[in-house]
Structure 1
Amino acid sequence: MASEEELFANIEALLAEEPQLPPPAERARLREAAGITQARLAQALKSTTQTVKNWENGRSEPKPPRLEAYKRLLEGWAAKYPAHASPVPAPAPSPAAEPQPVPKTFSAPSAPAPQEAAPPPALAAAPAAPAAPERPVRPAGTSRRPAAKKAAAPALDPRFPHGPLAVLDGDGSAYGVDGIVLDCPATTIPELVEWTLRESGLGAAKLNRHGKDSDPLIALTATAAVKLGLPERLEGHEERRSLRLPEDHPVVKQVTKAKWQLTQRGFGPWARIYRKAQGSQRQCVQLAVLSWDALDERSWPGVAEMEPADIARVLGVYAQRVITPRGSTAVSGLELMTALRPPTKAVQDPETGNWVSGYNPGSLGTEPMDPAPPEATTEHPVVVGSGWKGGFLNEEAYQWARSVELLSDEECLLPYAIGLDLNTAFLAASARLVVGLSGPDHFNTPKFNPKIPGSWLVDLSHIELDPRLPSPFTPDGTRPTGPAWYQTHTVAYAQELGHDVHPIEAYLRRETGAYLDPWHDRLKTAYVDTLADLGVTKDLDDQQFLAAMERHKQTDPALAAVLAAIKATVKGGVGKLRERPQGRKYKDGDRWPALERPTWRPDIRAAVISKARVNMHRKLNNMAKMTGLYPLAVLSDCVVYPSPGASPLDFLPYAASGKPQPGGFRLGPTPGLAKLEGVQEMAWAVDLMEKGLNPARHIKGGDAVLDEGE
């Protein structure tokens, strides 16, 4: 016989258990019967609308202290609105509609799999509100997503049923794509890595058949980081992106003891933890520590402050449309190039018949390549070691403002200055861009060929152009003063304008290809699709387009952040092609880590920027011919024009039919077309120009400062 004390102890244990809730469908019925919206309920419980949706569709469960408050509210509603009182009785949940534990995709090889609880029996239909059933136990790595919802989700690789990534919170909830929530039992970083690889079902398929699958990404919230033994913030005096955990930190020791490795970057905001691959199976997990500024505010605006489920949505959409993040957007942009153009593929050895790794045509290969001296930077070993004094390529984006003396009275009397911004101008320039795939060869007095990518020493200083336009040959828009090095597109544009060119010297590449084409295509699709999701579609007329662009960021802040990240991926990826050395200890002439990448290609960066600048000048020139208007200033992909009205429609060229004239600036949502950047008074722009400042830098915000390197 059990003693009275033992019985009371058992009762106390039952009372201490989590309150039981009615099934998800009943929660939604009770709220709707009370006439309360999901948003209002979320506000009352200090939560988010998405969280309430998850509770009502079975994707997640509330946790204390919201659990007790939510249960009390549902009990009150159940007393007021019993199921039999509804005009249409709520249908009894069917087995297909009930949240069912999803079997784990992987089982740990070194330990027996934990025993899974059997799914609860289906509830019988009843006219009254059903009693709250016992909540099923969710084993580690199982989904809270209802089985019935799974069919509506996008098709996923069966090897990675839970998508490419998850955001881990301090309570062990790992929020994935499409609202999925996994239970993660890990309490240390090594346990988290094992869980991710063996049980989570996270990862993404390769983007090219010769490439590699994307490693799973786990983003850690501040509470998750602390729970796993990491500091909430990284402190130090160096630039934050270079901060790392010291090698003697307990977490680094845990990783090493568990026979995992860190890359040379160490354990920083973006940490890669890996072991050597077992056959074709990779063993690598990417971590992003959110409270260590892994998501730069400039590239991911507002994302770090979002709820974990919303962060997972932003990163998930980016991963599905671009690539699973592996670092900054610049790093991801560069990684995307390699993922779409893998350096190697399987080839058959003609002698042995065995399959071996061989060069993948159209790629940059596996070996780093030294640039020609004029394509390098001043600190590069090929320059310092050779004593090169022959000058360098200066293919950079425009930073130009017209001289105030060249403004006419008619222009100064116009009421407005309007800024136009070209959508992802560098991306547009990368389309069908032929670049060198082999090393540079040196030539003396070559005949110019616009189809051969390379660097040309040529004198363009004799070319006379309208001073109201920037020179197409220099970033600051001034006329060249003598021979200088130019990328092929710049020299070809001089020919296009009707001038003879006679190169003195050149570094050219014999093997060529449109290396960036798949990169362009994927990012263009991601950009256009994300804009369309925000209500900016291709079928809008110009007036509708301007209105849609004005409100698109408020339509869905999460998707607006994805759009910003896509744009940052383009610019950052191009910039990474010529990454400079970092750190105070660096000495000119030493090699730096970026030089060991096949994707350290300053000549490809120069080709993209040269083509983008030439494209901009071509439009400026055509605008002058069609409208008689000349720009006030240009900054990279932004141009400012004087205007008789406060809208671009007041000065852009249109045919009698109402269609935009080809050749000039056109409004639209695709790369290379324009959108409104800002509107200011003309007097404001003239005042800046008189101070030597660039109105294009400030047209968006209106305020100008004197310390921007003007």
Structure 2
Amino acid sequence: MPTEEELFAAVDSLLEDQPQLPPPAERARLREAAGITQARLAAALKSTTQTVKNWESGRSEPRPPRLQAYLRLLEGWAAKYPAHGATAAAPGPAAMSQPEVPVTFTGPAASEAAETESAAPVKAPAAPVAPQRPVRPAASPATSSRRPAAKKAARPAVDPRFPHGPLAVLDGDGSAYGTGGIVLDCPATTIPELVEWTLRESGLGAPKLNRYGKDSDPLVVLTAAAAVKLGLPERLEGHEERRSLRLPEDHPVVKQVGRAKWQLTQRGFGPWARIYRKAQGRERQCVQLAILSWDALDERSWPGVADMEPADIARVLGVYAERVITPRGSTAVSGLELMTALRPPTKPERDEETGNWVSAYNPGSLGTEPTDPAPPEATAEHPVVVNLGWKGGFLNEEAYQWVRDVDLLTDEECTLPYAVGLDLNTAFLAAAARLVVGLSAPDHFHTPKFNPKIPGSWLVDLSHIELDRRLPSPFTPDGERPTGPAWYQTHTVAYAAELGYDVHPIEAYLRRETGAYLDPWHDRLKTAYVDTLADLGVTRDLDDRQFLAAMERHQDVDPALAAVLAAIKATVKGGVGKLRERPQGRHYKEGERWPALQRPTWRPDIRAAVISKARVNMHRKLRNMATMTGLYPLAVLSDCVVYPSPGPSPLDFLPYAASGKPQPGGFRLGPTPGLAKLEGVQSMLWAVGLMEKGLNPARHIKGGDAVLDEGE
């Protein structure tokens, strides 16, 4: 039998090995007493603001080596700023007013939660027990305690079927970090066990976005350590294009999935893997995995997210899931999936003869069957084009890439000191608002009378229209005047008529069934964009000067929400691009059908309609600006335009009325889609230098002089 001294010695060694932190409220008190912000502390510890916030609320605990550094700092502060009238273990009323445990459970979970020490990470029960109050993503840190919090609309109650939110980020220690700061214990050591745990015990998932849609499948994001623990390689290597990388069929994990009677989709086990069984009744059995170390989160769409702590990754993806959709792949894939989730192709309908419920077409949707495009709407490799031997040309509705001829610059313009770039907020999203598109297959017409209300493709000669050469042509992406008959989308032809010119189509492919298919997609993404900007301090009530100042610092307010904003913008552009996804892989042969053609959402005509309307909207603003101010652009690239300016701010050249309000019709500053923000400022000499080299200043307005020796 061990002696009492031996036992005490063993316990003392454990105490020495495990540093004891003060309670969360005391940590916050000490930091505030030292006058240090959460952001500054996070920078010192090479962490994130949200992670520090989690430490001070008891949602999570620091791990070595940050644990020892954090403890040393707290001990130093405690010596300088001892608690007055209370011990460190007894926080004052202000601290007590903020709950240390973010989730309250009923039933068996209540006793389990009560036994958990406040200084330990919050571990939610394995069974999906419904919480008493909604589990919400952690609030973004405020930049100033004096600034009033923005009023938020009440969030919907948590679906009792999914009490722990839409997703979790799994680390190598078996901790699954969910939204709202919760941490679940995941005992899985194999992929099949992880799938079973996710579906049976985790309480993860999200309700459908439309009454006729489907619930979102739960998403589990794997860190590199979690991937290795589950038998996956840390990196996915191969000789194919990055997007097509996947595990080989004979990999042990793929075999495990098959032996457990689970299936993989045709895309196999790649960075975004879907593992499923056929649904039993109404219950879906599908889990999506995203492997961080396999580049599941592209840096361009999710800047900095893959390098964040698991809790912060869960926060970023959770906010995106709440405001947009549970990620289902790249932001482009999620943008396309959002269209279908908001406009499901079918709805239940009772059969009048049998009385049974059957699946019927949902009006306003694209249906369940793919539709071949008209030949001019397709791409050169499309089977419709190859099989017909089509030689009649194609739609060329693309965004602007235009630079004004240097010879057209005036002496007055060249003497202006600055070139100022304006960027339109989510221009494609603004163009999708109230956009009527075709819902049915195209019909062919010869010498039709033009009708601006009918979506379709028109063969018409617009080469006779001569406009000011200091502006790009509204009819071509490169801004050059058309040279003869060409195919145009309805909005482009309608703009020619708006300018006062007669249009006489030679032929057309038009659609009889039409609708504003993208309206709910536009509305949801617009709300997500505006709300996220507001969380970053850019609200609608700011005047133009305040707006420019807020935009200048918004990226630094909260890196997590800044990443959400970037993902929302990428969702818009990527979703529109997916409507005309080209074949992938070096083994493709022209004329073969590729997988994307099997989707009802492979609709190049809808993509053309969005881009056509966006380009026409841009030209209309350019023309109005010239009328109101006499200023002409130096260059345009998609949704960015560069103007010569007497000062370094858009306020120096944008048109304002005597009352100080922006003039309608031109570019206006603001946080909503279609309004403008500052893209960058350079010298006029810099811009002219690029133009003389054949480069586009709008592409490089952010980069500065470093691009002068680079190509496009």
- When normalised by structure 2's length, the TM-score is 0.89
Correspondence 1:57 to 2:60:
no
Relative distance call for 1:277 and 1:14 in structure 2 (3 A) is farther
Supply the AA of the counterpart residue of 1:559: L
Q: CA deviation at 1:239?
A: 2.0
Instruction: Quote the Cα distance in structure 2 between the aligned partners of 1:698 and 1:388.
Output: 38
Look up the match of 1:210: 212
2:187 to 185, 188, 205: 185
Look up the match of 2:371: 369
Correspondence 1:477 to 2:448:
no
- Post-superposition Cα deviations, 1:240-297, rounded to whole Å, max 9, x if no partner, equal 1211111111111111111111111111111111111111111111111111111111
Instruction: Quote the Cα distance in structure 2 between the aligned partners of 1:78 and 1:626.
Output: 64
Supply the AA of the counterpart residue of 1:141: A
Q: CA deviation at 1:644?
A: 1.4
Tell me, yes or no, if the aligned pair for 2:328 and 2:334 is still in contact at 8 Å. Answer: yes
Q: CA deviation at 1:690?
A: 1.4
Instruction: Quote the Cα distance in structure 2 between the aligned partners of 1:96 and 1:555.
Output: 23
Question: Which residues in structure 2 correspond to 1:224-373 (within 5 Å)?
Answer: 224-373=226-375
Q: CA deviation at 1:396?
A: 0.5
1:704 to 696, 704, 707: 707
Correspondence 1:646 to 2:631:
no
Once structures 1 and 2 are overlaid, which stretch shifts more, 690-699 or 386-395? Answer: 690-699
Look up the match of 1:172: 174
Question: Which residues in structure 2 correspond to 1:431-470 (within 5 Å)?
Answer: 431-470=433-472
Q: CA deviation at 1:150?
A: 5.8
Question: Which residues in structure 2 correspond to 1:549-560 (within 5 Å)?
Answer: 549-560=551-562
Once structures 1 and 2 are overlaid, which stretch shifts more, 408-417 or 594-603? Answer: 408-417
Instruction: Quote the Cα distance in structure 2 between the aligned partners of 1:442 and 1:174.
Output: 56
Relative distance call for 1:73 and 1:410 in structure 2 (3 A) is closer
Q: CA deviation at 1:550?
A: 0.9
Once structures 1 and 2 are overlaid, which stretch shifts more, 44-53 or 183-192? Answer: 44-53
Look up the match of 1:668: 670
Relative distance call for 1:100 and 1:644 in structure 2 (3 A) is closer
Tell me, yes or no, if the aligned pair for 1:20 and 1:135 is still in contact at 8 Å. Answer: no
Instruction: Quote the Cα distance in structure 2 between the aligned partners of 1:219 and 1:27.
Output: 33
Supply the AA of the counterpart residue of 1:511: E
Instruction: Quote the Cα distance in structure 2 between the aligned partners of 1:682 and 1:151.
Output: 48
Supply the AA of the counterpart residue of 1:544: Q
Once structures 1 and 2 are overlaid, which stretch shifts more, 168-177 or 24-33? Answer: 24-33
Tell me, yes or no, if the aligned pair for 2:430 and 2:673 is still in contact at 8 Å. Answer: yes
Relative distance call for 1:511 and 1:42 in structure 2 (3 A) is closer
Instruction: Quote the Cα distance in structure 2 between the aligned partners of 1:403 and 1:423.
Output: 27
Supply the AA of the counterpart residue of 2:690: L
- 3-state DSSP of counterpart to 1:442: strand
Instruction: Quote the Cα distance in structure 2 between the aligned partners of 1:580 and 1:187.
Output: 39
Tell me, yes or no, if the aligned pair for 1:436 and 1:454 is still in contact at 8 Å. Answer: yes
CA RMSD across the alignment: 3.5
Once structures 1 and 2 are overlaid, which stretch shifts more, 644-653 or 441-450? Answer: 644-653
Relative distance call for 1:594 and 1:688 in structure 2 (3 A) is same
Q: CA deviation at 1:366?
A: 0.3
Q: CA deviation at 1:708?
A: 4.7
Relative distance call for 1:292 and 1:663 in structure 2 (3 A) is same
1:506 to 505, 508, 518: 508
Look up the match of 2:530: 528
Q: CA deviation at 1:706?
A: 6.4
- When normalised by structure 1's length, the TM-score is 0.89
Relative distance call for 1:410 and 1:65 in structure 2 (3 A) is closer
Q: Which structure: larger Rg?
A: 1
Tell me, yes or no, if the aligned pair for 1:30 and 1:74 is still in contact at 8 Å. Answer: no
Tell me, yes or no, if the aligned pair for 1:96 and 1:148 is still in contact at 8 Å. Answer: no
Instruction: Quote the Cα distance in structure 2 between the aligned partners of 1:262 and 1:31.
Output: 51
Tell me, yes or no, if the aligned pair for 1:143 and 1:182 is still in contact at 8 Å. Answer: no
Tell me, yes or no, if the aligned pair for 1:117 and 1:137 is still in contact at 8 Å. Answer: no
Supply the AA of the counterpart residue of 1:434: V
Q: CA deviation at 1:119?
A: 3.5
Instruction: Quote the Cα distance in structure 1 between the aligned partners of 2:122 and 2:426.
Output: 49
Q: CA deviation at 1:556?
A: 1.1
Correspondence 1:198 to 2:205:
no
Q: CA deviation at 1:704?
A: 2.5
Tell me, yes or no, if the aligned pair for 2:168 and 2:176 is still in contact at 8 Å. Answer: yes
Tell me, yes or no, if the aligned pair for 2:24 and 2:119 is still in contact at 8 Å. Answer: no
Q: CA deviation at 1:141?
A: 2.7
Once structures 1 and 2 are overlaid, which stretch shifts more, 30-39 or 311-320? Answer: 30-39
Q: CA deviation at 1:53?
A: 3.9
Once structures 1 and 2 are overlaid, which stretch shifts more, 83-92 or 439-448? Answer: 83-92
Once structures 1 and 2 are overlaid, which stretch shifts more, 697-706 or 680-689? Answer: 697-706
Relative distance call for 1:193 and 1:451 in structure 2 (3 A) is same
Runs of 5+ unmatched residues, structure 2: 139-154
Look up the match of 1:399: 401
Relative distance call for 1:65 and 1:140 in structure 2 (3 A) is farther
Relative distance call for 1:171 and 1:690 in structure 2 (3 A) is same
- 3-state DSSP of counterpart to 1:571: helix
Relative distance call for 1:133 and 1:165 in structure 2 (3 A) is closer
User: Matched residue pairs, number?
Assistant: 690
Tell me, yes or no, if the aligned pair for 2:395 and 2:488 is still in contact at 8 Å. Answer: yes
- Post-superposition Cα deviations, 1:21-68, rounded to whole Å, max 9, x if no partner, equal 588457548847985868487678765554444344332345566667
Q: How many percent identity over aligned positions?
A: 79
Look up the match of 1:386: 388
1:627 to 611, 626, 629: 629
Q: CA deviation at 1:593?
A: 0.2
- Post-superposition Cα deviations, 1:441-492, rounded to whole Å, max 9, x if no partner, equal 0001111100000000111111111111111111111111111101000000
Correspondence 1:655 to 2:657:
yes
Tell me, yes or no, if the aligned pair for 1:455 and 1:487 is still in contact at 8 Å. Answer: yes
Look up the match of 1:515: 517
Question: Which residues in structure 2 correspond to 1:684-699 (within 5 Å)?
Answer: 684-699=686-701
Tell me, yes or no, if the aligned pair for 1:101 and 1:142 is still in contact at 8 Å. Answer: no
- 3-state DSSP of counterpart to 2:468: coil
Supply the AA of the counterpart residue of 2:168: A
- 3-state DSSP of counterpart to 1:385: helix
Supply the AA of the counterpart residue of 1:704: V
- Post-superposition Cα deviations, 1:572-609, rounded to whole Å, max 9, x if no partner, equal 00000000001110000000000000000000000000
Relative distance call for 1:262 and 1:627 in structure 2 (3 A) is same
Correspondence 1:141 to 2:126:
yes
Relative distance call for 1:47 and 1:683 in structure 2 (3 A) is closer
Q: CA deviation at 1:613?
A: 0.6
Instruction: Quote the Cα distance in structure 1 between the aligned partners of 2:106 and 2:260.
Output: 23
- 3-state DSSP of counterpart to 1:527: helix
Relative distance call for 1:321 and 1:120 in structure 2 (3 A) is closer
Instruction: Quote the Cα distance in structure 2 between the aligned partners of 1:151 and 1:475.
Output: 44
Look up the match of 1:682: 684
Q: CA deviation at 1:514?
A: 0.2
Q: CA deviation at 1:353?
A: 0.9
Runs of 5+ unmatched residues, structure 1: 106-114, 124-131
- 3-state DSSP of counterpart to 1:259: coil
- Post-superposition Cα deviations, 1:110-150, rounded to whole Å, max 9, x if no partner, equal xxxxx989548789xxxxxxxx8997995763799998996
Supply the AA of the counterpart residue of 2:430: A
Once structures 1 and 2 are overlaid, which stretch shifts more, 249-258 or 482-491? Answer: 249-258
- 3-state DSSP of counterpart to 2:531: helix
Tell me, yes or no, if the aligned pair for 1:22 and 1:133 is still in contact at 8 Å. Answer: no
Once structures 1 and 2 are overlaid, which stretch shifts more, 601-610 or 223-232? Answer: 223-232
Q: CA deviation at 1:308?
A: 1.2
